[in-house]
Amino acid sequence: MPSPAAKRPTTPQRSRMMAGIRGKNTWPERALRSALFASGFRYRLHVRGLPGSPDMVFPKHKAALFVHGCFWHRHEGCRYTTVPKANGDFWMKKFTDNVARDVKHIALLRDQGWRVAIVWECSLKRSVEDVSKSVVTWLQGSDAELTVE
């Protein structure tokens, strides 16, 4: 039986794995985009002129939507919010910085008059249709914020 250390990826393997993680056009984002497009909503993607470059921007509704990965953005209480065993201090700082940046960007968007929605990856794993319905209802309403968990 191989030792646990034998299963651990080498530095080049780990580097290649981490390089393959996308920041844009992830499967949860694409699935939600597809459902919203099918519902008749049009949007702009990754608008760099807005704080945090929201994943989807609905200018007609003055609404910005982020699709957050549970691991990277630390969805509290989610089973996908794990911490790697190796290099724990590095990861905790990275996660803390990510969450602080998210809070800052949302506050800046709100200050500029944007409505903001956060959709967590795990909610899309359960049901893209249910999440899409929630987002459509939010877009058609007047609520300032939406969080789909």
List, as one string, the DSSP characters of 32-79.
HHHHHHHTT---EES-TTSTT--SEEEGGGTEEEEEE-HHHHT-TT-T
pLDDT computed for residue 136 by the predictor: 97
Query: Using CA of residue 67, residue 72, residue 75, residue 79, what is the dihedral sign?
Result: positive
User: Using CA atoms, how far apart are residues 129 and 25, in angstroms rounded to an integer?
Assistant: 18
- Hey, is 145 helix, strand or coil? strand
Q: What is the pTM assigned to this prediction?
A: 0.85
- Containing H/E element for 16? helix 11-19
Per-residue pLDDT of the chain (149 residues; tens, 9 = 90+): 555 556 788 888 877 877 777 778 889 999 999 999 999 999 999 999 999 999 999 999 999 999 999 999 999 999 999 988 888 899 999 999 999 999 999 999 999 999 999 999 999 999 999 999 999 999 999 999 999 99
What is the set of domains in the chain, with CATH numbers?
Answer: 24-148 (3.40.960.10)
- Hey, is 19 helix, strand or coil? helix
User: Using CA atoms, how far apart are residues 68 and 75, in angstroms rounded to an integer?
Assistant: 8
- Hey, is 144 helix, strand or coil? coil
User: Using CA atoms, how far apart are residues 106 and 88, in angstroms rounded to an integer?
Assistant: 27
